[in-house]
Structure 1
Amino acid sequence: MVVATREGGTVLLRLADNVGVSALRKLSLADVAPGSFIGTAAEPGPDGVWRALEVLVFPEAMRGTGEGHFAWDLTPTSSMTNATVDSAVEGNDGRSLTLTARGQQVKVLVPPDVPVVTLIPAAMEDLRPGAQVFLTATPGADGALNVARVTVSRDGVVPPM
């Protein structure tokens, strides 16, 4: 599969024989509740609190996926936190989440306009020219970029990650 990168180039990817294909369904911020396992890309705010750029509520079967808090390439200063929601508090400027991953707590403010999504099944047929995708690739011994899972835009829901 060949994809255009957000930087403007193209890259050739080798899909695994059993590649997983997912799409996304929009959720509301109210669906992010204590006990949910989420992934959120965020940027540091001027007050030191992380401000979410997107929130992915993982299906229960994916609990623990990529757990932790680490640098992310959505923006030059963004991070990714995949963690369990400990608490969710409504405020004037959004919902404040306290997340725990591997014993580390991270506080994230989710403004009301931030996309909140969850994964749903999709098929290889959904990987059409022009569809936007989110994926991670791992370099193989031969230098090829290998992909085990692709999330594809469908029904107007574009991967915000």
Structure 2
Amino acid sequence: MKKVILSIVCLFIGIAMSSCSEAKKQLTDQEILVVMYEAMNGPNWKDSNKENWLSEKPIGEWKGVETNDEGRVVKLVLNADSVIELVPSEIAGLTELEELSIFINNDGITNNVPTEIRDLTKLKRLYLNLSLFIPYEERPLIPDISTLVFLEYLFISGV
């Protein structure tokens, strides 16, 4: 009887673990870029800044995106305007990212730089140029980035 109960408990634990792992499905780099585009008000970016975004073309041909031989994003340059959310937390899924440049010019930011940016452990260059027309005390916060041990260049302006 104990073996039957133990088997049933193990079965339920296995099912629960299986459904948890499905819920935490790893997004592809393309899916992450789409999330970023939507969260950062991409449809309202200037046309020159969103060339090929959401198209059928490989993401390496999307404006500001550079990929490696495996098709993973290694460089991301975003010139965004009319941004609502600065950078969504999903950016941490771009695990091969070596250079991140974000240039934003507006007054509608509603969040801080996500703490997940510190998970971009391969990051070598980080540029954040935020021309924000909001009071200093309302500007976004930059998280602790001491985990970015490969960081060679850091430029932060406007925060």
Q: Give TM-score, length-normalised by structure 2.
A: 0.28
* Structure number having the greater strand percentage: 1
* Structure number having the greater helix percentage: 2
Q: Give TM-score, length-normalised by structure 1.
A: 0.28
Looking at both structures, which has the greater relative contact order when contacts are Cα pairs under 8 Å and sequence separation is at least 6?
1
- The structure having more radius of gyration, on CA atoms, is 2
